């Protein structure tokens, strides 16, 4: 994988930005950048472990039971991630709540397992997981930065804008949709400009 392909996987071909794939946790856990960062790390770990396992077992699983087996593999690693978070960081476990176990049904992870890992070798599958995971991290951190900065006047828990009247609506579920729309709008705007410059 070249540096150009690596960069395109994170930005130009980012599945969260391109087709809003796996966007549920982006809406649910982006109230703070710290929460988004932890969730991104868990998703990347589950994605890498699942891709590796699916790739290793790709010739042992028949086409008829391919999807159920992939879901079981992803669920096993999502459960491990949930137990690890509960043991190591009860604070983040409480903040992320049900969305950690729901990594098991994140369509982004299942998509990469079925579309890439089931057809490629282990090392390539892990690299794909890292690239997609970094793209997912960029998307979540972008949404969380908007929500935390303007909803709380802080970043990573530190006050960065003076004043006592932040836009509290951004910390609500409605604010999550607004921040995602803003991030997707900016992404599409810059991609369109880039396309026009090349033309």
Strand, coil or helix: 20: coil
Which domain does 118 fall in, by range? Answer: 3-198
CA pair distance 135, 104, nearest whole angstrom? 19
Average pLDDT on 92-106 reads 87
Q: What is the structure's pLDDT at 134?
A: 92
Q: What distance separates the 2 farthest-apart alpha carbons in the chain?
A: 60
Strand, coil or helix: 159: strand
- What one-character DSSP code corresponds to residue 155? E
How does pLDDT run across 139-187, given as a tens digit for each residue? 899 989 999 888 888 888 788 888 778 888 888 878 888 888 888 888 8
Q: How many domains does the chain have?
A: 1
Contacts of 78 (CB under 8 A, 6+ apart): 46, 100, 101, 102, 103, 104
How does pLDDT run across 117-146, given as a tens digit for each residue? 999 999 999 999 999 999 889 989 998 999
CA pair distance 175, 150, nearest whole angstrom? 10
User: DSSP characters for 97-114?
Assistant: GGGTGGGGG-HHHHHHHH
User: DSSP characters for 51-97?
Assistant: HHHHHHTTTTS-GGGHHHHHHHHHHHHHHHHHHHHHHH-HHHHHHHG
Residues 111-142 as b/e (b if ≥16 CB within 10 A, e otherwise) read ebbeebbbebeeeebbbbbbbbbbbbbbbbbb
Q: Mean pLDDT of all residues in the chain?
A: 86
Per-residue pLDDT for 37 more than 80? Answer: yes
22/37: higher pLDDT: 37
Q: What is the structure's pLDDT at 49?
A: 96
Task: Give the predicted TM-score (pTM) of the model.
Answer: 0.86
């Amino acid at each position: 994988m070249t540096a150009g392909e690596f960069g395109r996987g994170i930005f130009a071909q980012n599945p969260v930005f391109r087709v809003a794939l796996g966007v549920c946790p982006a809406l649910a856990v982006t109230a703070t950048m710290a929460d988004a960062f932890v969730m991104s790390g868990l998703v990347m770990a589950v994605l890498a472990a699942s891709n590796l396992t699916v790739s290793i077992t790709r010739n042992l699983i028949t086409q008829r039971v391919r999807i159920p087996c992939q879901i079981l593999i992803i669920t096993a690693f999502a459960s491990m991630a949930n137990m690890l978070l509960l043991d190591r960081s009860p604070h983040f476990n409480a903040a992320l709540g049900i969305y950690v176990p729901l990594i098991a049904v994140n369509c982004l992870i299942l998509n990469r397992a079925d579309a890439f890992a089931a057809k490629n070798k282990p090392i390539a599958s892990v690299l794909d997981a890292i690239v997609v995971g970094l793209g997912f991290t960029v998307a979540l951190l972008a949404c969380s930065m908007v929500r935390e900065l303007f909803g709380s006047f802080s970043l990573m828990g530190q006050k960065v804008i003076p004043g006592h009247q932040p836009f509290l609506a951004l910390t609500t579920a409605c604010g999550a949709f607004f921040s995602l729309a803003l991030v997707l709008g900016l992404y599409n705007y810059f991609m369109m400009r880039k396309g026009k410059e090349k033309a």
